[in-house]
Amino acid sequence: MNGDPPQRLVTWALATFHATLFVVASVLFAYTRGGLGSLLANLNTLVGLGLFAALWATTFLTTQRALEGIDVLGTMDDRAFVRRVFRWGAANGMAFLAVLAVVFLVGSLAAIPAGSGPGFLLFAAFAAPFALVVSAAVGGAVGAVLGVIDLGLVRLARRLSAENN
Amino acid sequence: MDVHLLHLAVRWLHVLAMAVALGGAALVFVLAARARQIGVPAVALLQLAASYEWVFWLAAGTLAMTGIGNLGAFGAGLPSPQTGWGTTLVVKLSVVVLLVMLSLPRTLAVARLAFAAPSHVADVLRTLYAFTSATFALVVAIAIWLAHG
């Protein structure tokens, strides 16, 4: 990890903040809409833990790249920050989709009987470009929303620390 | 893998992460509150707070990950949000969202203060960690109610 200790702490905190807030807010939304039980029924505990760990890892790597050259603790260009988190949010969406695809493909290949045709793989190859576009759009939108929330919280942090300097 | 053992391990990790996060926040709060009496220098207090922030976010991610795992153990049997248990879970998750959102400015404030280490840093840290400890304690109280209520 690059940067001085406070910058490394900022990267670690922002990445975990994004992954945690996204997942907890999504669970809260799904639960109040009544769709969480059926979703959890289809999700193996180990797979669920693994998917969160994968999202955490891809979010950390993309946050690290997004914050390169940006001084969150000092002065920064807010628009450039939101543009950067939008772009790297899209990259995170695609990276997470790639992890999901690997898990799904390995699981599906293990489940289909030996000697079956390549139809499943052809379908996956056909759907992949569309899925990548959708994942980039969703990741970019989530990144932009989180970026705006970040800006508000960064301002609050400056106020908390400036009053006493 | 034994599913029962896996669920037990997930719960153990969840409780451990909560204990570390709440205990750490309470420790920083107590030291900040008594810093002048016991003579803790501002720099040492900030180093401790910065170390806690690293651990806090590790615990926060672990709590989210294992919390979903705990809910996953219910599967399709998860009580509806209209039940008393469900309403309490919604309150708990909402308090967690609030805690996570207000923890980021705390971490950033600690990182910013590390540059200057003002002499009255103990007052700022006392306020920040009092809020964190109190909110965590509320989450723990709700979690205990959900588990045994």
| ipTM of the shown complex | 0.93
The amino acid at residue B26 is A
Distance of residue B50 Cα from the nearest chain A Cα, in angstroms: 8
The pLDDT-based confidence of A93 (bands split at 50, 70, 90) is very high
- Residue A66's pLDDT is 93
* Structure confidence at residue A37 (pLDDT): 79
In chain A, residues with a C-beta closer than 8 Å to the C-beta of B3 are 45
Cα–Cα distance between A161 and A164 in angstroms, integer?
Answer: 6
Q: Distance of CA A53 to CAs A56, B13, B49, B76, Å? A: 5, 14, 26, 23
Whether A163 shows a pLDDT value over 60: the answer reads no
Q: Does A109 touch chain B (CB under 8 A)?
A: no
Residue in the structure block whose two tokens are 């509806």 = B80
Lowest mean per-residue pLDDT among A20-34, B60-74, B121-135:
B60-74
Chain B residues near residue A13 by CB distance under 8 angstroms: 53, 57, 104, 107-108
Q: What is the mean pLDDT of residues A6-33?
A: 95
Examine the pLDDT at A120 and tell me if it is beyond 60.
yes
Between residues B74 and A13, which one has the greater pLDDT?
Answer: A13
Condensed to tens digits (0 to 9), the pLDDT of residues B96-134 reads 999 999 999 999 999 998 877 677 789 999 999 999 999
3-state secondary structure string across B85-110: HHHHHHHHHHHHHHHHHHHHHHHHHH
Which residue from A minimizes the CA distance to B56? A13
From CA B54, how far away is CA A68, in angstroms rounded?
Answer: 20
- Of chain B, the percentage scoring pLDDT greater than 70 comes to 97
- In order of A12, A17, B1, B3, the CA distances from B108 in angstroms are 11, 12, 41, 40
Q: Please tell me which residue of chain A has the smallest CA distance to B98.
A: A21
> Is A49 part of the contact surface with chain B (CB cutoff 8 Å)?
yes
Confidence of residue A28 (pLDDT cuts 50, 70, 90): very high
**pLDDT at residue A63 in the model:** 96
- pLDDT for A43: 75
Share of chain A above pLDDT 90, in %: 54
Q: How far is CA A38 from CA A16, A33, A43, A98, B6, in A?
A: 27, 11, 9, 24, 21
Burial B41-52 (b: 16+ CB within 10 A, else e): ebeebbebbbeb
Say what the pLDDT of residue A102 is.
86
Q: How many domains does chain B fold into?
A: 1
What per-residue confidence (pLDDT) applies to A114? 66
- Checking if the pLDDT of A47 tops 70, the result is yes
- What is the average pLDDT value for chain A, to the nearest integer? 87
Listed residue (A6, A153, A112) closest to B49, CA to CA: A6
CB < 8 Å to B1, chain A: 46
Q: 10 Å Cβ neighbour count for A90?
A: 23
pLDDT at B57: 98
CA–CA separation, B121 and B42 (whole Å) = 6
For residue A165, is pLDDT > 50? Answer: no
Give the residue from A39, A158, A161, A165 with the most B CB atoms within 10 Å of its CB, the best one to mutate. Answer: A161
The residue that leads in pLDDT, B139 or A161, is B139
A4 sits in the region (left: phi over 0; alpha: psi -120 to 50; else beta) called beta
Higher pLDDT, A159 or A109: A159
| CA dihedral angle for residue A22, residue A28, residue A33, residue A36, rounded to 10 degrees | 90
Angle between helices B42-72 and A5-32 in degrees, nearest 10: 30
Residues A24-44: what's their mean pLDDT? 86
Question: Checking phi first, is residue A113 left (phi over 0); if not, alpha (psi -120 to 50) or beta?
Answer: beta
Specify the higher pLDDT residue, B14 or A73. Answer: B14
Alpha-carbon distance of B108 to A135, in angstroms, equals 30
Q: How far apart are CA A67 and CA B33, in angstroms?
A: 34
Pure H helices in chain B: 3-33, 35-38, 42-72, 84-116, 121-148
Enclosing domain of residue B46: 3-148
